[in-house]
Amino acid sequence: MIIRKSPAELEKMRRAGMLVHQILDTVRGMIREGVTTFDLEVVADKMIRDAGAKPAFKGYYVPAAGTKFPSVLCTSVNCEVVHGMPSAKRVLRSGDIISVDTGVQLDGYFGDSAITVPVGEVSEEVKRLLRVTEESLELAIQQARPGNRLFDICGAVERHVTSNGFSIVREFVGHGIGASLHEEPQVPNYVDRRNENPRLKEGMVLAIEPMVAAGRPETKVLEDRWTAVTKDASYAAHFEHCVAITSNGPLVLTRP
Ligand code: MG
Ligand code: MG
């Protein structure tokens, strides 16, 4: 069942979303050569506590991993697609890209967003990977309107990414979000005809999150049981926003 949110609930989700935005904006400003991914974690963790919010990812349990996720941020560098864990040993170098994904629960409601940021100088092809992935998210957001269907969102990402010669990661998907971090429906970044294609209605909120590989799309999970990497070690980018479907069009809750 897809849970639709009232205007009062959307207002709470907006506040959670804006906290996520502020965290990502702060972290983005810190990213440079020599910084460790744990430096980012420390600042984000403090911002969440200072706001009276709870981290959505820290303590999150997934049976396949068999452990609780240890951090408030997912920091995924280069070929890491998602669920990388901050570490004081992971020093950022010029030429890297880092995806930072975070979620919070504030006043009962969740926000969830991700950005991918270049470190120092990256190649033109890597810049294009980041640009195309972010553009695919914006094209998908534009489809988040009453009367459209889920596949309009999925297809917008898929068309833009594949027509630019990059690959859609298929093992991880976006999701509904609200009083739970992960609600129905799943939001794949490609049209999956095995799934239902519900009509989009006012009050639905979707976390849309294209994950795009420069090379082959297949991923594997590392020994740490969380970090997902591309099998061919090609770079991967990830951008995410929470979007409410309203009669006035798409309302992005995770940016001003
Ligand atoms: Mg996320
Ligand atoms: Mg998400």
Q: What percentage of the chain carries pLDDT values higher than 70?
A: 100
The torsion angles phi and psi of 210, rounded to 5 degrees, stand at -60, 135
The Å distance, Cα 4 to ligand 1 centre, comes to 20
Name which of 233, 252, 235, 230 is nearest 243 in CA terms. Answer: 252
- Cα Rg of the chain (Å, integer): 17
pLDDT at 207: 99
CA of residue 174 to ligand 2 center, whole Å: 6
Band (pLDDT 50/70/90 cuts) for residue 142 is: very high
Contact 235, 123 (CB under 8 A): no
Count the Cβ atoms, other than its own, within 10 Å of residue 113: 24
pLDDT of residue 159: 98
Contact between 107 and 116 (Cβ < 8 Å): no
Please compute, for residue 23, the number of CA atoms within 13 A of its CA located in the half-sphere on the CB side: 33
Q: How far is CA 207 from CA 49, 94, 184, 190, 214, in A?
A: 23, 30, 10, 15, 22
Beta-carbon neighbour count of residue 48 at 10 Å?
24
pLDDT digits (tens, 9 = 90+) for 86-105: 999 999 999 999 999 999 99
Rounded Cα distance, 152 and 143, in Å: 6
CA of 189 to the centre of ligand 1 (A): 14
Q: Which ligand is nearest to the CA of 116?
A: 1
Pick the CATH number of 7-252 from 3.40.190.10, 3.40.50.300, 3.60.20.10, 3.90.230.10: 3.90.230.10
The model's confidence at residue 35, banded by pLDDT at 50, 70 and 90, is: very high
pLDDT in tens, 174-228: 999 999 999 999 999 999 999 999 999 999 999 999 999 999 999 999 999 999 9
Q: What is the mean pLDDT of residues 63-67?
A: 92
Residues whose beta carbons lie less than 5 angstroms from ion ligand 2: 112, 207
Domain assignments of the chain as residue spans, ordered by start:
7-252
**Cβ neighbour number for residue 219 with a 10 Å cutoff:** 22
Share of the chain above pLDDT 90, in %: 100
